Amino acid sequence: MAHVTSLHSRQPDANQTAYEPTYQSNRPAYTITSMEQALDKVLKAAQARFTGGLSPIALQAAFADWALHLSSAPGKQLELVEKAFDKTKRFASYTAQCAANPNTSETCITPLPQDRRFTDDAWKKYPFNAMSQAFLLHQQWWHNATTEVEGITQQHENVVEFATRQILDVFSPSNYPMTNPQILAQTLGQGGMNLVRGWQNFLEDASRAQAGKNPVGTEAFVVGRNTANTPGKVVYRNALIELIQYAPTTDKVRPEPILIVPAWIMKYYILDLGDENSLVRYLTSQGFTVFMVSWKNPDAKDRDLGLEDYLSHGVMDAINAVEDITKATGIHAMGYCLGGTLLSIAAAAMARDGDTRLKTLTLLAAQVDFTEAGELTLFINESQLTYLEDMMWEKGYLDTKQMAGAFQLLRSNDLIWSRIIHTYLMGERTQMTDLSAWNADATRMPYKMHSEYLRQLFLHNDLAEGRYTVGGRPVAISDIRTPVFMVGTERDHVAPWQSVYKFKLLSDTDVTFLLTSGGHNAGIVSEPGHPRRHYRIQTKSKDARYTDPDRWMAEETEIDGSWWPAYTDWLVQKSGDPIAPPKMGANGHEPLCDAPGTYVFQD
């Protein structure tokens, strides 16, 4: 069996328990070279505390690009004047109709499908219907004004349109008690007690945030007790990962183990939540031996850990340990989100070097081409990345608050404004779920690794274009020959499914692509019996012609239910006949402690 020498760095003690690194990064540390450079970084880091990590220069450049091109486009200006006149006329006609029939259900503009702010019947009554319609018309005009301006770069146009939408959302009539009929009705019906409860909720949340505590309700979900509680053992540990081997639940198992590489942006146990919605528990029940990587939560001393460290001491060390323990001739490797991207790099490097240990490759909401990576690309340009790097330089890592804030901005109506309305104005707490509790258990990102990830993959798209190097030599996704199973989710704002689908353009192997309902997290945690779930699935052989994503979606039949059984059917087809389960830890990898291990508890 061929092995990859450049990636197979072994630890002196495979079962070391110390958290201090025993390895040295093979890339130079990110250091400052002068006092003047340090001054620049300190000042930008101080600025970032007030801007939430957003570069004001990048934002100004985008708006300047838009304003200058719009000012030199009289035709576009005339078009906007005509649209303003048309919308004014439509709104005047609509208000006249409302005056004649205050309870009319007619509208002069329909909100976008994902905009659920004005769906309640109370918004159909005057004057609230007029308020909502005026807001939507105003919002539509600004969309016309900020898009299709000739000459502006696409990235700047996206930034301006997004920023303008965020500003307008602040003034939505749904956000204020006197212009939201649902809040008014609740306030009148409860004598204002909803506002009293809301104020108490606000004080409680502010107090918890100040103290660094998790949100209300998360205490009901305890890691190792009622979440992340699938029985198992930590069978390997280094300074970056713990490797968990889960106990078998069937008399016999498939000879090829499953190794799961989750994203390190959050804790691993999204794939091992409760008893009913744990993918790990489901896979073991279907007769598979499952291993899970649990990443260390990095701190300031890990600032110089890079992507190659995560590759060598994360993915490759885990593969080595799984091979040692099971003596399997093939491994089913699964990667989720960033973990899937890293696993793709590892698979490409292994294929390049003749390492044939991967039997299959599964990628869950993972991208290898970042040219269409959704609204996250709004924050990816040279100015913004330099600003972000200066902010990380001060601490040595990207703080959890910066990451959470960026993701909340992408879905501000769902994650910011709706929460403010429901919790502080309606005075109601949304019941905490295990998925919500997991989402609050965030992790940090090392300075060097996150900078490399954003620059090499997001900004320059090096992996898709053949420039990404491992061990000093480039890797190519087209070198991968193992069968691939890919999962995209319909409402993914982190890894849009059309972007995930682009793997087909780069690969030279059989690819089974599955598109499931739900978002980046909820679509993956889609256990059998979960209501209102569906999926589409198709296998493309390496010699088949390419089908674009929109046509693919239109042609494939929608299947009701969870995608998990379809996935296990695919795995069974790629696996050998069942054998006796391997020992829990073996061959120099004796169990160190019970699952979920120790790294998952690091704050």
Give catalytic residues, as residue numbers: 337
Alpha-carbon torsion (100, 102, 104, 109), positive or negative: positive
DSSP secondary structure code for residue 546 in this structure: P
**DSSP state string for 431-467:** PP-HHHHHHTSB--EEHHHHHHIIIIIIIS-TTTTT-
Token pair belonging to 29: 């540390």
Q: How far apart are CA 125 and CA 121, in angstroms?
A: 8
Q: Are 375 and 458 in contact (CB under 8 A)?
A: no
Q: How far apart are CA 236 and CA 231, in angstroms?
A: 16
With residues binned 3-state (H G I as helix, E B as strand, rest as coil), the percentages for the chain, rounded to 5, are 45, 10, 40
Q: How far apart are CA 153 and CA 420, in angstroms?
A: 35
User: Across the strands, what pairs with 294?
Assistant: 242
The helix/strand/coil state of 473 is strand
Judged by phi (left if over 0) then psi (alpha if -120 to 50, else beta), residue 399 lies in beta
As to burial, measured by CB atoms within 10 angstroms (0-12 exposed, 13-18 middle, 19+ buried), residue 259 is: buried
Quote the Cα angle for 331-335-339, to 5°.
Answer: 130
Token pair belonging to 115: 């905009």
Closest CA to 190 of 394, 521, 426, 492: 426
